[in-house]
Structure 1
Amino acid sequence: MAEQKGRDIVSDTVRAAETTGASRTREFSELLRHHHRELGTTDPRDLDAIEMVTDLTRLEARLTKDFEKHVHRPLGLTWAGFRILNALWVYGPLGQQDIGRFSGSTRASISSALATLESRGLVSRERVESDRRQLFVELTPEGRETLRQAIAAQTRRERAWTAVLRDDQLSELVHLLRTLVNQETPSAE
């Protein structure tokens, strides 16, 4: 009897968490600001910057998880693999050492992703004649086709994610993010 009552309480708690999850997420920004004010941050610009960086980080994590689930995994790709294919498509063949800079991937994830992409026939790697330590990477026709499918599926997901914005809001957001992304890294204080 007590065991059943305990299971009922857990079940009720899980149901309550599921229904309040969205509202708890929405209140995060207010709670974040509140706690930062308690730490002494009162400048509205600082509070906006804190919230903006936190929201971008949270959004990036949600987008990555969503794209992995709905786009890349069904095609046998990872997020890192997609970014590498995309960089090779945009820039053409690249030295393996340049892929990280253009794809935003770490050296470890590049090495692992390239091995997988190469084993699937999506990229080819060749040694540079003048320096045998360097590898030159390029898309194969199969890689181009897989990337085409991934881009089509991801575009549908991106359209769904941005549907809450008006056209002018989306254009302004693109402009603002481009401004942030293209600036020099601020010096450390």
Structure 2
Amino acid sequence: MTGSHTLQATEKAIEDRLAGMQIDTGAMWAVSNLYRATTSIRNHLEQTVLRDTGLTWTGFVVLWVVWIWGDIETRHAAAESGISKATLTGVVKTLESYRYVQRARHESDGRRVVLSMTRSGKKMMENLFPAFNRQEAYVVRGLSDVQRKELAASLRVIVEQLEEPDRD
């Protein structure tokens, strides 16, 4: 029978299952805990600050990307958001229905589409992001300023390594 297990119980079960295997347990624990942390953080933010907005995590990320970068082609918005163009299409339809973003044809190439933030989208982000950031602070409240900086730097190294074109 399966169900929700504590982190400690999960780690013990994994150690038992993998006993005797030649694996890099340090890498496994780092990636496993990174995955669990990001899932927990996403769930927390969706259940707190995003709950009453009608935005999903992905919708928020796309809105954030357009807010930060301004007018942006859909292919770049998808890449910056870490989602496929097909997923972006559905998300943009929802954001358009809320009147947070709008689509327009690229001025020099009608086959390309550009996303722009509307006035109500800007207002939404200006009001939402401070609350979002308060929850970000809540998530890392157990870390010192030095630990926060070290964590951010370590994660940046991982991201930059995976973004390199010649990776294995």
Q: Establish whether TM, by shorter chain, passes 0.5.
A: yes
1:88-108 C-alpha deviation (Å, 9 max, x unpaired) = 122111011111111112223
Q: Which residue of 1 aligns with 2:132?
A: 154
Q: Which residue of 2 aligns with 1:112?
A: 90
Q: Could you say what the CA RMSD is over the residues aligned between the two structures, in angstroms?
A: 1.9
* Amino acid in structure 1 at the alignment position of 2:95: L
TM-score (norm: length of structure 1): 0.79
Task: Give the whole-Å Cα distance in 2 for the aligned partners of 1:109 and 1:69.
Answer: 22
1:90 corresponds, among 41, 63, 68, to 68
Identify which of structures 1 and 2 has the higher relative contact order when contacts are C-alpha pairs closer than 8 Å and 6+ apart: 2
Structure 1 stretches of 4+ with a deviation exceeding 4 A read none
- Deviation of 1:72 after TM superposition, in Å, equals 1.6
Identity of matched residues, % = 28
Q: Which residue of 2 aligns with 1:57?
A: 35
Q: Which residue of 2 aligns with 1:31?
A: 13
Gaps in structure 2 of 5+ consecutive residues: none
Q: Which residue of 1 aligns with 2:80?
A: 102
- Structure 1 or 2: more helix by fraction: 1
Task: Give the whole-Å Cα distance in 2 for the aligned partners of 1:37 and 1:106.
Answer: 38
Q: Secondary structure at the match of 1:74?
A: coil
1:154-176 C-alpha deviation (Å, 9 max, x unpaired) = 11111111011111111111111
Q: Which residue of 1 aligns with 2:100?
A: 122
